[in-house]
């Protein structure tokens, strides 16, 4: 980063200290620093030896300033407004397909159920070749996405490649307004247990949950599992309305407190609940955050549900969108939220950064004790602790690197192109099918470096620096040789880890989230624990009302 840009960032960030000054001094400092910023930018733009991009330079300064706050405060220039709107509302006009790049191919990663791409039979993994006669192979995702979107009622012609099939797929789709569902899967499980997987909190989430729950109850559901794992949140109001489905009218769900009195608000349930008696288990993970934590936290604080899984993320900050000049926007953190017990579950202390700019979790010694309605002990400052803790899955380096490589996705695309008539329910790969996958991965020259290899290389380096290497050369070489042998057999040795991930990817390719759930739910540890506790009324009540 150039010195000039650093200067811009420093000047922009200088305004952070102004908040501590008296009002008159603060206003003077604001005007002073803005004047300095404007005059400095003018000098750089006029006299810097090379041409500069004014827009890029200013945005670098803005982003440098906002980075001093928290990762949720963002500047949204006019050209990014549409993407931000889609993220917050779940609505746009197009063909109804989420796209991404996998191993240098622009492919469909999710064809949204019931919309043009899905109705036309397009699948996960289909690769874009042409759009309206324009070759898009190798084009970046934003460029391909822009060609797919357009006014509702307009037509778009697509040419796609599916796996290694010889014939290309040619379709014409009519663009329409797309509303992405917040619920990716809901079903009635054995034992009259309803299951709802909620992935988003965009507009309409509460209505979708209400309709799904009502349908499940009519189908005979007597207990409910609400899956909020990996749900990073969204609308505060949708969270309040979802909590309202299980809590009486007039109950506090969340309060917010900010620097401005305008953000000090109390939110209560306004409607008649849908169910006050059904036992509920909420599945949580380390990526359950924000609005998800409001729902889970409110239900825990009122002893209305049992939380099963891992400690949640710990995001207790509220963002508000503010309009700026020239159609730009600022998403800014305006308050912290507090759930009914009075606790704020924010885990990272952005207000007290270390001198190197890093942020630490709130220390355990600073966490405070609170009580649920029934008197159970709960704590603030670090996410929600589950009532039934399930250790998170841990994977070997080879498994993680393989998943991150995109090869599981790519192989699932090839597999499903050749095996379209698979019964997804409890699908399992045969030994022969898995061995075929292993051979394919080796042909792709998949490589990685394990932590053990890195540590061994460090050990060799230390041995050399300490002048022990000549004496240890042979055993170190033998150790490295054994590690290499193990790495060559990792895909077979780690079959118990890798095969389930590939099976779930195949299930998703075939039937989206429903297919993935059908493959995985019966071996899902959190699901098994939730079903076990719901089936034992005495154990369920003992968690909520311990003696």
Active site residue 315: yes
**Assigned token pair, 517:** 């759930």
Catalytic residue status for 301: yes
Measure the CA–CA gap between 414 and 70, rounded to whole angstroms.
Answer: 42
| Helices 537-544 + 525-535 axis angle, to 10 | 100
Query: How many CB atoms within 10 Å of residue 86?
Result: 16
- What is the rounded CA–CA span in Å between residue 343 and residue 316? 10
How far is 297 from 302, CA to CA, in rounded Å?
A: 9
Residue 388 and residue 528: Cα distance in Å, rounded?
12
- Residues in a beta bridge with 333: 319
CA distances from 42 to 35, 36, 63, 328 (A): 11, 10, 19, 22
| CA–CA–CA angle 281, 286, 291 (5° rounding) | 65
Greatest Cα pair distance in the chain: 78
Instruction: Give, in order, the Cα–Cα distances in Å from 389 to each of 288, 296, 347, 392, 529.
Output: 14, 14, 18, 9, 9
Question: Is the distance from CB of 253 to CB of 283 less than 8 angstroms?
Answer: no
Q: Are 230 and 287 in contact (CB under 8 A)?
A: yes
For residue 156, the tally of other CB atoms under 10 A from its CB is: 18
Q: How many residues does the chain have?
A: 547
Q: Count the Cβ atoms, other than its own, within 10 Å of residue 146.
A: 13
User: Rounded to an integer, what is the distance from CA 119 to the centroid of its chain?
Assistant: 27
Q: Measured between alpha carbons, how far is 6 from 18 in angstroms, rounded to an integer? A: 20
Separation of alpha carbons 156 and 145, rounded Å: 12
C-alpha distances in angstroms, 528 versus 145, 384, 533? 39, 20, 9
Annotated catalytic residue, options 74, 126, 301, 524:
301
Q: Which residue among 290, 292, 341, 520 is the active-site one?
A: 290
CA distances from 321 to 135, 236, 318 (A): 38, 13, 10
3 state SS for 41-53: HHHHHHHCCCCCC
Q: Active site includes 199?
A: no
Strands of the sheet with 223-227, listed across from one edge: 183-189, 193-198, 223-227, 280-284, 306-309, 388-389
Whether the Cβ atoms of residue 337 and residue 344 lie closer than 8 Å to each other: yes
Catalytic residues: 290, 301, 315
């Amino acid at each position: 980063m150039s010195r000039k840009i650093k200067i811009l960032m420093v000047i922009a960030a200088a305004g952070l200290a102004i908040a501590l000054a008296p009002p008159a001094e603060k206003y003077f400092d604001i005007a002073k620093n803005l004047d300095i910023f404007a005059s400095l930018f003018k000098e750089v733009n006029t006299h810097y030896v090379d041409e500069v991009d004014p827009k890029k330079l200013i945005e670098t300064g803005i982003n440098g300033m906002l980075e001093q706050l928290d990762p949720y405060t963002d500047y949204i220039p006019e050209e990014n407004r549409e993407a931000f709107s889609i993220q917050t509302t779940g609505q746009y006009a197009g063909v109804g397909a989420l796209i991404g790049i996998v191993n240098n191919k622009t492919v469909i990663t999710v064809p949204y159920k019931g919309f043009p791409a899905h109705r036309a039979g397009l699948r996960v993994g289909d690769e874009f070749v042409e759009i309206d006669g324009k070759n898009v192979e190798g084009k970046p995702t934003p460029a391909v996405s822009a060609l797919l979107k357009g006014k509702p009622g307009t037509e778009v012609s697509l040419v796609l490649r599916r796996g290694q099939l010889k014939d290309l797929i040619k379709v014409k789709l009519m663009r329409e307004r797309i509303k992405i569902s917040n619920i990716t899967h809901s079903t009635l499980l054995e034992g009259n247990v309803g299951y709802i997987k909620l992935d988003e909190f965009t507009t309409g989430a509460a209505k979708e949950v209400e309709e799904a729950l009502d349908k499940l109850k009519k189908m005979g559901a007597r207990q409910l599992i609400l899956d909020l794992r990996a749900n990073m949140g969204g609308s505060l109001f949708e969270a309040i309305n979802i909590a309202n489905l299980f809590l009486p009218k007039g109950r506090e769900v969340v309060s917010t407190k900010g620097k401005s009195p305008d953000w000090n608000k109390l939110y209560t349930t306004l409607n008649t609940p849908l169910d006050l008696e059904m036992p509920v288990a909420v599945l949580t993970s380390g990526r359950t955050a924000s609005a998800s934590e409001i729902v889970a936290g409110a239900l825990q604080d009122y002893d209305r549900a049992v939380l099963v899984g891992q400690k949640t993320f710990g995001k207790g900050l509220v963002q508000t969108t503010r309009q700026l000049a020239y159609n730009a926007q600022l998403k800014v953190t305006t308050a912290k939220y507090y759930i009914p017990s009075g606790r704020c579950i924010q885990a990272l202390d952005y207000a007290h950064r270390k001198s190197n700019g890093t942020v630490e979790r709130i220390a355990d010694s600073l966490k405070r004790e609170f009580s649920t309605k029934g008197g159970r002990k709960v704590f603030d400052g670090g996410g929600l602790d589950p009532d039934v803790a399930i250790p998170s899955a841990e994977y070997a380096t080879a498994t993680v690197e393989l998943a991150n490589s995109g090869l599981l996705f790519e192989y699932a695309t090839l597999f499903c192109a050749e095996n379209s008539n698979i019964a997804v329910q409890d699908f399992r790969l045969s030994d022969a099918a898995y061995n075929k996958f292993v051979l394919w991965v080796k042909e792709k020259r998949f490589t990685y470096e394990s932590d053990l290899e890195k540590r061994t290389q460090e050990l060799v380096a230390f041995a050399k620096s300490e002048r022990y290497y000549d004496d240890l050369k042979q055993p170190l070489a033998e150790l490295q040789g054994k590690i290499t042998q193990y790495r060559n057999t990792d895909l077979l040795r780690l079959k118990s880890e890798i095969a389930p991930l590939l099976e779930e990817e195949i299930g998703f390719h075939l039937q989206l989230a429903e297919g993935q759930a059908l493959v995985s739910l019966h071996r899902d540890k959190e699901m098994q624990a939730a079903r076990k506790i719901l089936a034992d009324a005495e154990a369920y009540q003992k968690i909520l009302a311990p003696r």
